Amino acid sequence: MKIKIGKVFGISIEVHYTWLIVFFLFTWSLASGYFPQYFPGWSGISYWAAGAISTIFLFGGVLVHELAHSLVAIKKGTEVKSITLFIFGGVAQSTEEPKEANSELLISLSGPIASLVLAGIFFLLAYLSPEEISSAILSYLFLINVLLAVFNLFPAFPLDGGRVLRAILWKWKKDYKQATRIATSTGIVFSYFLIFLGFFSLLQGNLVTGLWWIILGWFLQNSAESSYQQLLIKQALSGLTVRSIMETEIKSVPPNITLEELAREHFLGFQQTAFFVSWGDEVLGIVTIGDLKKIPRDQWNSETVRQIMTPMDQIETVSPEENAYDALLKMTSKNVGRLPVMEDGKLIGIITRQGLLDALRIRAEIMGI
């Protein structure tokens, strides 16, 4: 679940629910550990206030880091739709990868540079601050932004340093796939190191730190592997359009039949889990077996398809000339198994997740991917 909090430079800023967990953990850790250890003698409320303010500005720094990536990416021709703050920091949602090595290099370096600039600003403000509490908060923010920049520069994909490594290898070897494979391998090795570090910390009695490193290592491992798999999928579907794999035989149901008829004559009759809803030549929407299951069984004879269908204006669609990979991304992001194919405002076919996966399997085998 995500909460949209606004837009910056046209980029949607969202907060994932896991951010609330880490906000509490960071605030508690700073209020009960870091600040009392290095700055004894404050009141309890001062420690908690310092912890909360520091955590807010910490994630503000993460947001600036991701905005730097995003603004450079936009300048280099890559669309960025949103930035999401979550338990491990932040991630920018881009529509595509950089088109050439120099662009990826600049995009990757922009985030750590922004963090170092922020660190310099906080260092100067801490030096000039006359109050101990404000100076302590600013000093912590200086330190954490330096660590954020340094950690992200490790040459382990998908960290910024791993993307820098991929950009250098891409420019040198002229092979994006090979560069990604090598950068991904370094990312997986680094993730195993973090997991080992986590177990070592657990043996030393540091429960929270150990679990944090293990979870972070696991997350980086999964991210590295999924990024490479995504590249292989994109290459396998390259050049394949929606038109070439869409189904043109479209089964539909009228909007005025009861749910009992829908279940008996259509879902059971055709062994299909979704149908378009149409009246004459007009397509009104789509109804799925999931929609049906939301309605109590004793109401199936009294309610109609029109009452539970999803109208067409609420359904994600694709055009016949759209790339099949983009269609797959739409299905994944919306968590749907099919998309209507529209041309000049008319429904001309349907593309299904199963159809895409069949095409992917065949092309991967032929291409040796």
Residues 231 and 247 reside in one and the same domain: no
Q: What pLDDT does residue 204 have?
A: 87
Q: What pLDDT does residue 223 have?
A: 84
Band of residue 304 on the pLDDT scale cut at 50, 70, 90: very high
Domain boundary among 178, 211, 236: 236
Express each pLDDT in 28-39 by its tens digit.
Answer: 989 988 899 889
Q: Between residues 333 and 340, which one has the greater pLDDT?
A: 340
Q: What is the mean pLDDT of the chain?
A: 87
Q: Quote the number of domains for the chain.
A: 2
Residues 151 and 105 reside in one and the same domain: yes
Residues 173 and 262 reside in one and the same domain: no
* 1, pLDDT greater than 70: no
Q: What pLDDT does residue 250 have?
A: 78
Residues near 24 by beta carbon (within 8 Å), at least 6 away in sequence:
none
Are 312 and 283 in contact by the 8 Å Cβ rule? The answer is yes
Residues 230 and 310 reside in one and the same domain: no
Domain that holds residue 152: 2-236
CATH number of the domain encompassing residue 338: 3.10.580.10
User: Which tokens sit at 38?
Assistant: 């290095």
Residues 317 and 215 reside in one and the same domain: no
Q: What predicted TM-score, i.e. pTM, was given to this entire model?
A: 0.74
Residues 79 and 114 reside in one and the same domain: yes
Q: Between residues 5 and 296, which one has the greater pLDDT?
A: 296
Least confident of 158-162, 231-235, 319-323: 231-235
- Cis status of the peptide bond prior to 255, with omega within 30 of 0: no
Residues 247 and 263 reside in one and the same domain: yes
Residues near 344 by beta carbon (within 8 Å), at least 6 away in sequence:
none
Torsion sign across C-alpha atoms 158, 159, 163, 169: negative
Domain boundary among 236, 257, 277: 236
Bridge-based pairing of strands 80-86 and 11-16 is: parallel
Residues 196 and 114 reside in one and the same domain: yes
Q: What mean pLDDT is predicted for residues 167-176?
A: 89
Are 345 and 295 in contact by the 8 Å Cβ rule? The answer is no
Residues 174 and 147 reside in one and the same domain: yes
Residues 275 and 229 reside in one and the same domain: no
Domain boundary among 189, 204, 236: 236
Q: What pLDDT does residue 146 have?
A: 95
Q: What pLDDT does residue 121 have?
A: 96
Q: What mean pLDDT is predicted for residues 285-303?
A: 90
Q: What mean pLDDT is predicted for residues 281-293?
A: 87
Express each pLDDT in 95-119 by its tens digit.
Answer: 667 778 888 899 999 999 999 999 9
Residues 288 and 202 reside in one and the same domain: no
Express each pLDDT in 53-70 by its tens digit.
Answer: 999 999 899 889 999 988
Q: How many angstroms separate the first and last alpha carbons of the chain? A: 34
Residues 98 and 221 reside in one and the same domain: yes
